[in-house]
Amino acid sequence: MADEPIFVTQPYLPPLEEFTPYLEQIWANKQLTNGGPMHQQLEQALSDYLGVPELALFNNGTNALLTALQAMNVTGEVITTPYSFAATAHSILWNGLTPVFVDIDPVTLNIDPKKIEAAITPNTSAIMPVHCYGNPCDVTAIKQIADKHNLRVVYDAAHAFGVEDAGGSILCHGDLSVLSFHATKVFNTFEGGAIICPDTKTKQHINNLKNFGIVDEVTVTETGLNGKMSEINAAFGLLQLQHMEAVLEGRRWVAQSYREQLSDVPGIIIVPAKEQIVSNNSYFPILIGPEYPLSRDELYQKMKDHNIFARRYFYPLISDFPMYSSLKSAKQSNLPVATHVAKQVLCLPAYPDLTDADLNKVAKVING
Ligand code: T4K
């Protein structure tokens, strides 16, 4: 019998019977959405778990990003990274704003703060950095630049659930941070997301924006969207949260095992996790260097031939997509590091239920 396919990720699912009592509660009270009891409980539980002041749930990370920019009254140009998922720049464009791409740091693969100031113009009003793969950005340098030029900072923290730096949650930096709870993420609610914000006033504004801009029964003040998380997603989140220790331990084991098996393979560069942080091991990216006998795409194909579906996150660069490629900042000459890395990167299967045998198979195929 052929081996089962091994995907880049698989969602963690708690035992089904544990979910039934939550469904019974929803069936009993008939509140399905619009800020019901599960929604309220999950907001509180996640704020406590993550150690953040305020958290507003969303039905996905993209709507949370769209709303975060709207809540900050961002105008004109937004500086961001080309090395991310399409949603990062799309949220800028959907707000009628112009993304300005800045190259990434070759080690962290996050936006390079040294290159941000050169991209600032009189029209710049915000920076949207991404904690790529959950590796923290240089939040101190970004804050200094933002303060100096009076810019808002909205972090796309889709990958950074539970990540901490020396000062605590990485999600407390910037004006707002946005999480994704998509099925493929460390903490999932099937679909979902959240905005982390500093105070209740900002949260109330965000709550209005995620509910069409409705303030009360007769007052609609802004052009909000429908960003509300349903009760069924929130209920699943409450259950999932109880399993986080096992989820994170499973991911730690996967990352450690890959490091042990791949560290000495010539031409394989393991993207380093920043020191002094609590990592969530949300992805396991490697770079395929020139000393490796195959190109990145040849290895990607070889793995596919073995039924292993690694992914080239993030290739192509967002800046190469047709809606961005004519921007001046999208030129490859402006983005040499990101252009290079996008051709080398491969994210290996990494999720809590990955078996010993599957992990060994992945490592063996790479080892040749
Ligand atoms: N910002 C950043 C930096 C992001 O990475 C993302 C999302 C966002 C913003 C937006 O957040 P959301 O609006 O999505 O909440 C996936 C995810 O769909 C996307 O959420 C994620 N980033 C991105 C990095 O990855 P695809 O197109 O690669 O997904 P897909 O369907 O190919 O799934 C990958 C593998 O996962 C499959 O081969 C099998 C497995 N899988 C997937 C799903 C959906 C499952 O086993 N079960 C599932 O239900 O984008």
Please compute the mean of the pLDDT values over residues 308-317 and round it to a whole number: 98
- Tell which of 226, 241, 256 closes a domain: 241
Mutate to test the pocket of ligand 1, among 88, 182, 283 (most ligand atoms within 8 A of CB): 182
Give yes or no for residue 354 having a pLDDT over 50. Answer: yes
Residue 271 in domain:
yes
Residue 112, pLDDT score = 98
**Looking at the domain assignment, is residue 7 inside a domain?**
no
Q: Which of 55, 277, 66 is nearest to 162 (CA)?
A: 277
> For the chain, what percent of residues have pLDDT higher than 90?
97
Kindly state whether residue 3 falls inside one of the protein's structural domains: no
Span 248-258, pLDDT tens digits: 999 999 999 99
> Residue 302 pLDDT > 50, yes or no?
yes
pLDDT of 1 higher than 60 = no
* Assigned domain for 9 exists: no
Q: Count up the domains in the chain and report the number.
A: 2
In a domain, 293, yes or no: yes
User: Ligand 1 pocket by C-beta < 6 Å: which residues?
Assistant: 7-11, 60-62, 84-85, 87-88, 130, 156, 158-159, 180, 182-184, 193, 309, 311, 313
Pair (272, 323) in one structural domain? yes
pTM over 0.75: yes
Residue ending a domain, choose from 241, 262, 291: 241
Atom number in ligand 1 closest to CA 190 = 49
Residue 148: active-site member: no
Q: Which atom of ligand 1 is nearest to the CA of 61?
A: 15
Residue 26 and residue 149 in one domain? yes
CATH of the domain at 338: 3.90.1150.10
175 and 311, same structural domain? no
Asked whether the predicted pLDDT for residue 192 surpasses 90, the reply is: yes
Mutation pick for ligand 1 pocket among 110, 111, 184, 185 (CB with most ligand atoms within 8 Å): 184
Residues 257, 170 share a domain:
no
Structural domain of 256: 244-367
Mean pLDDT of 302-306: 98
Residue nearest to atom 4 of ligand 1 (CA): 85
The band of 274, judged by pLDDT with boundaries at 50, 70 and 90, is: confident
Q: Of 241, 271, 298, which residue is a domain's last?
A: 241
* Tens of pLDDT, residues 145-158: 999 999 999 999 99
Residues 339 and 291 both lie in one domain = yes
Catalytic entry in 185, 228, 274, 361: 185
Residue 8 resides in a domain: no
223 pLDDT above the threshold of 50: yes
228 and 251 both lie in a single domain = no
pLDDT tens for 86-118 read 999 999 999 999 999 999 999 999 999 999 999
pLDDT for 25: 98
Separation of CA 183 and ligand 1 centre (Å): 7
7 falls in which pLDDT band (50, 70, 90)? very high
Q: The domain spanning residue 25 has which CATH number?
A: 3.40.640.10
Q: How confident is the model at residue 2 (pLDDT cuts 50, 70, 90)?
A: low
Average pLDDT, the chain: 97
Same domain, yes or no, for 78 and 172? yes
Candidate from 1-15, 56-70, 80-94, 124-138 with smallest mean pLDDT: 1-15
Please choose from 60, 84, 85, 312 the residue to mutate so as to test ligand 1's pocket, defined by most ligand atoms within 8 A of CB.
85
Same domain, 109 and 46: yes
**Is residue 218 domain-shared with residue 351, that is, in the same domain?**
no
Residue nearest to atom 30 of ligand 1 (CA): 184
Ligand 1 closest atom vs CA 181: 15
Same domain, 224 and 325: no
Assess if residue 292 is contained within a domain.
Answer: yes
Do residue 183 and residue 158 come from a single domain?
yes
